Amino acid sequence: MKSELTVNGRKIELDVEPRMSLLDALRDELGLVGTHAGCEHGVCGACTVIADGEAVRACLILAVQADGLDITTIEGLAPARGELSVLQDSFCETHALQCGYCTSGFLLAATVLLRRTENPSRAEIERAISGNLCRCTGYTQIIEAIELAAERLGHRNTNEPEGAA
Amino acid sequence: MPDGATNTGIGASVKRVEDKRFLTGKGNYVDDINRPGQTYAYILRSPHAHAKINSIDTSAAKSASGVVAVFTGEDMQVGSIPCGWQVDSADGTPMREPGHPALAQGKVRYVGDQVAIVIADTLDQAKDAAEKINVDYTPLKAVVDLRDALADTTLVHDEIETNISYDWAIGDKAEVDAVFDGAAHVTKMDIVNNRLIPNAMEPRAAIGDFDRASGEYTLYTTTQNPHVIRLLMGAFVLSIPEHKLRVVAPDVGGGFGSKIFHYAEEAITTWAAGQIARPIKWTAERSESFITDAHGRDHLSHAELALDANGKFLGLRVETAANMGAYLSTFASAVPTYLHATLLAGVYTTPVIYCNIKAVFTNTVPVDAYRGAGRPEASYLLERLVDRAARETGLDQVDIRRRNFIPSDAFPYQTPVALAYDSGDYEATLSSALKLAEVDGFAARKAEAAGRGKKRGLGYSTYIEACGVAPSAVAGALGARAGLYESAEVRVHPTGSVTVFTGSHSHGQGHETTFAQLVSDQLGIPIENVDISHGDTGKVQFGMGTYGSRSLAVGGEAIVKATDKIISKAKKIAAHVLEASAEDIEFAGGNFTVAGTDRSMAFGEVALTAYVPHNFPHEELEPGLDETAFYDPANFTFPGGCHICEVEVDPDTGTVEVVSFTAVDDVGRVINPMIVEGQVHGGVAQGIGQALLEGCSYDEDGQLLTGSFMDYAMPRAHNLPSFKVATEETLCAHNSLGVKGCGEVGAIGSPPAVINAVVDALADMGVTDVAMPATPQTVWRAIQTAKS
Amino acid sequence: MKFPAFKYLRPSSVAEAAAQLAEHGDDARLLAGGQTLMPVLAMRLAEPEVLIDLGRIENLRGIALEDDALRLGAMTRYVDLERSALVAEHAPLITRALPYVAHVAIRNRGTIGGSVALADPAAEMPACMLALGAEIELTSTEGNRWIAAEDYFLGLYETAREDTEILTAIRIPLAPERRVGFYEVARRHGDYALAGAAAVGDVEDGRIQGLRVAMFGCDDLPVLAKTAAKAAETGVLDGAWLEADVSPTSNINGEAHIRLAQARVAFRRAVTDLLGVSNG
DSSP string, B290-304: HHHSPBB--EEEEEE
In the prediction, which pLDDT does C252 show? 81
**Predicted pLDDT at B603:** 96
**Confidence category of residue C238, pLDDT binned at 50, 70, 90:** confident
Query: Within a domain: residue C1?
Result: no
pLDDT of A156 reads 58
User: Residue range C8-23: average pLDDT?
Assistant: 98
User: Could you tell me where the beta strands, DSSP code E, fall in B153-215?
Assistant: 164-170, 185-193, 205-211
Write down the H helix ranges in B279-374: 286-292
CATH number at residue C94: 3.30.465.10
| Topology of the domain covering B19-26+485-631 | Aldehyde Oxidoreductase; domain 4 (3.30.365)
Q: List, edge to edge, every strand of the sheet that includes C143-148.
A: C63-65, C69-73, C166-173, C135-140, C143-148
Contact B570/A at CB under 8 A: no
Cβ contacts of A126 on chain B, cutoff 8 Å: 717-718
* C194 inside domain: yes
For residue B2, what pLDDT is reported? Answer: 44
Phi, psi of B56 (to 5 degrees): -130, 120
What angle is formed at CA B376 by the lines to CA B374 and CA B378, rounded to 5 degrees?
70
Task: Check CB contact under 8 Å for A18 and C6.
Answer: yes
Band (C206; pLDDT cuts 50, 70, 90) = confident
From chain A, the residues in CB contact with B201 under 8 A are 36, 38, 44, 46, 99, 101-102, 133-136
End-of-domain residue from the set C173, C199, C234? C173
CA dihedral B534, B537, B541, B545 (to 10 degrees): 60
CA angle C91, C94, C98 (to 5 degrees): 155
d(CA B197, CA B288): 12
The angle subtended at Cα B626 by Cα B622 and Cα B629, nearest 5°, is: 115
- Chain B, nearest residue to A127 by Cα: B718
Q: Does C252 touch chain B if contact means CB atoms closer than 8 Å?
A: yes
- The answer to whether position C219 is within a domain reads yes
| Banded pLDDT at C189 (limits 50, 70, 90) | confident
Tell me which chain C residues have a C-beta less than 8 angstroms from the C-beta of B285. Answer: 1-2
Query: pLDDT band at A163, cuts 50/70/90?
Result: very low
Could you give the domains of chain A? 2-76 (3.10.20.30), 86-157 (1.10.150.120)
Q: Cα(B221)–Cα(B204) distance, rounded to whole angstroms?
A: 8
Q: Is A56 close to C105, i.e. CB distance below 8 A?
A: yes
- Which residues from C are below 8 Å from B781, CB to CB? 254-255, 258
**Residue B186 exposed, middle or buried by CB count within 10 Å (0-12, 13-18, 19+):** middle
Confidence class for position C146, pLDDT limits 50, 70, 90 = very high
Kindly tell me if the per-residue pLDDT of A164 is higher than 70.
no
pLDDT tens for each residue of B447-465: 999 999 999 999 999 999 9
- Our CA dihedral for B122, B124, B129, B132, rounded to 10 degrees, sits at 180
Of C188, C194, C258, the CB nearest to B716: C188
Rounded (to 5) percent helix, strand, coil in chain C = 35, 30, 40
Give which of A41, A43, A98, A130 to mutate to test B binding, by max B Cβ within 10 Å.
Answer: A98
**Confidence class of residue B470 from pLDDT cuts 50, 70 and 90?**
confident
Please give the residue range of the domain that contains residue C37: 7-56
3-state secondary structure of B449: helix
Q: B578: how many CB neighbours lie within 10 A of its CB?
A: 18
Query: C250 and C227 share a domain?
Result: yes
- Tens-digit pLDDT profile for residues B331-377: 999 999 999 999 999 999 999 999 999 999 999 999 999 999 999 99
Q: Which of residues 670-709 of B touch A (CB under 8 A)?
A: 674-675, 677-678, 681-682, 684-686, 708-709
- Residue B682, classed as helix, strand or coil, is helix
Same domain, C91 and C113: yes
Share of chain C above pLDDT 70, in %: 99
Q: How far is A86 from chain B (nearest CA, A)?
A: 11
Is residue B268 within 8 Å of residue B113, measured between CB atoms? Answer: no
- Asked whether B732 and B422 are in contact (CB, 8 A), the reply is yes
pLDDT over threshold 50, residue A165: no
Asked whether the ipTM of the predicted complex exceeds the cut of 0.90, the reply is: yes
A91-138 confidence digits (pLDDT tens): 999 999 999 999 999 999 999 999 999 999 999 999 999 999 999 999
In order of B53, B233, B705, the CA distances from B100 in angstroms are 16, 13, 25
- Do C146 and C202 belong to one domain? no
Amino acid at A22: L
Q: Where does a domain end: C121, C139, C173? A: C173
Percent above pLDDT 90 for chain B: 95
Tell me the C-alpha distance between B96 and B164, whole Å: 8
Report the C-alpha gap between C19 and C57 in whole angstroms.
Answer: 14
Residues of B in contact with C248 (CB under 8 A): none
Equal CATH topology for B19-26+485-631 and B419-480+636-788: yes
Q: How many domains does chain C have?
A: 3
Position A68 scores a pLDDT of: 97
Give backbone dihedrals phi and psi of B492, rounded to 5 degrees, phi first: -90, 125
Q: Tell me which residue in A21, A41, A48 faces C105 most closely, judged by beta carbons.
A: A48
- In chain B, the residue whose alpha carbon lies closest to the alpha carbon of C2 is B124
Chain C neighbours, 3+ Cβ pairs < 8 A:
A, B
Does C279 reside within a domain?
no
B145, pLDDT greater than 80: yes
CB–CB contact C262 B697 (8 Å): no
Describe chain B by its helix, strand, coil percentages, rounded to 5: 30, 25, 45
pLDDT in tens, B268-309: 999 999 999 999 999 999 999 999 999 999 999 999 999 999
What is the pLDDT, as a whole number, of residue B480?
86
- In chain A, which residue's Cα lies nearest the Cα of C1? A40
Domain contains C280? no
| Cβ pair B392, B417 in contact under 8 A | no
Q: Are residues C213 and C185 in the same domain?
A: yes
Q: Say if the Cβ atoms of A95 and B678 lie within 8 Å.
A: yes
Give the start-to-end residue ranges of the domains of chain B.
19-26+485-631, 419-480+636-788
Contact criterion met (CB below 8 Å) for B659 and B646? yes
Query: What digits encode the pLDDT tens for the residues A63-90?
Result: 999 999 999 999 999 999 889 999 999 9
Is residue C205's pLDDT more than 90? no
Report the residue from B693, B710, B777 with minimal CB separation from C253: B777
* Nearest-Cα residue of chain A relative to residue B33: A33
Query: Given a cut of 50, is residue B699 above it in pLDDT?
Result: yes
Contacts of residue C191 in chain B, CB cutoff 8 Å? 710, 713
Q: Which of B57-61, C67-71, C263-267, C273-277 has the lowest mean pLDDT?
A: C273-277
Task: State the pLDDT at residue B6.
Answer: 61
- pLDDT confidence of residue C277: 62
Which tens digits make up the pLDDT trace of B571-630?
999 999 999 999 999 999 999 999 999 999 999 999 999 999 999 998 899 999 999 999
Q: Is B359 in contact with B162 (CB distance < 8 Å)?
A: no
Which residue, among B19, B21, B30, would best test binding to A if mutated, counting the most A CBs under 10 Å from its CB? Answer: B19
Output B4 or B99, whichever has higher pLDDT: B99
CA distance B560 to C154: 71
Mean pLDDT confidence for C196-201: 97
Q: Is residue C144 part of a domain?
A: yes
pLDDT band at C280 (very low <50, low <70, confident <90, very high): very low
Helix/strand/coil for B497: coil
Q: How many CA atoms lie within 13 A of A26 on its CB side?
A: 33
**Mean pLDDT of all residues belonging to chain B:** 96
Name the CA radius of gyration of chain C, rounded.
19
Q: What is the CATH number of domain B419-480+636-788?
A: 3.30.365.10
How far apart are alpha carbons A74 and A64 in whole angstroms? Answer: 21
Last residue of a domain, one of C173, C195, C217: C173
Do the chains contact at B253 and A77, CB–CB below 8 Å? Answer: no
More confident of the two residues C25 and B58: B58
Residue A42, chain C, CB below 8 Å: the answer is yes
Query: B426-436 vs B397-404: helix axis angle to the nearest 10?
Result: 160
Cβ–Cβ under 8 Å, residues C54 and C74: yes
Q: In C, which residues are within 8 Å of A59 by CB distance? A: 1, 38, 42
Query: What pLDDT score does A159 carry?
Result: 46
Average pLDDT over residues B158-185: 97
Average pLDDT over residues C178-197: 92
Cα–Cα distance, B743 to B665 (Å, whole number) = 11
Q: How many CB pairs under 8 A join A and C?
A: 87
Give the pLDDT confidence score for residue A161 in this predicted structure.
41
Model pLDDT, residue B8: 87
Q: List strands edge to edge, sheet with C28-31.
A: C7-9, C50-53, C28-31
User: Who among C39, C104, C189 is closest to A109 (CB)?
Assistant: C104
Q: How confident is the model at residue A155 (pLDDT cuts 50, 70, 90)?
A: low
In DSSP notation, B36-97 reads TT-EEEEEEE-SSSSEEEEEEE-HHHHTSTTEEEEEETTT---PPPPPSB----TTSPPPP-
Interatomic CA distance for residues B160 and B149, integer angstroms:
13
Chain C residues in contact with B776 by the CB 8 A cut-off are 185, 187, 194, 254, 262
**Residue A142 to residue A160: CA distance in whole angstroms:** 25
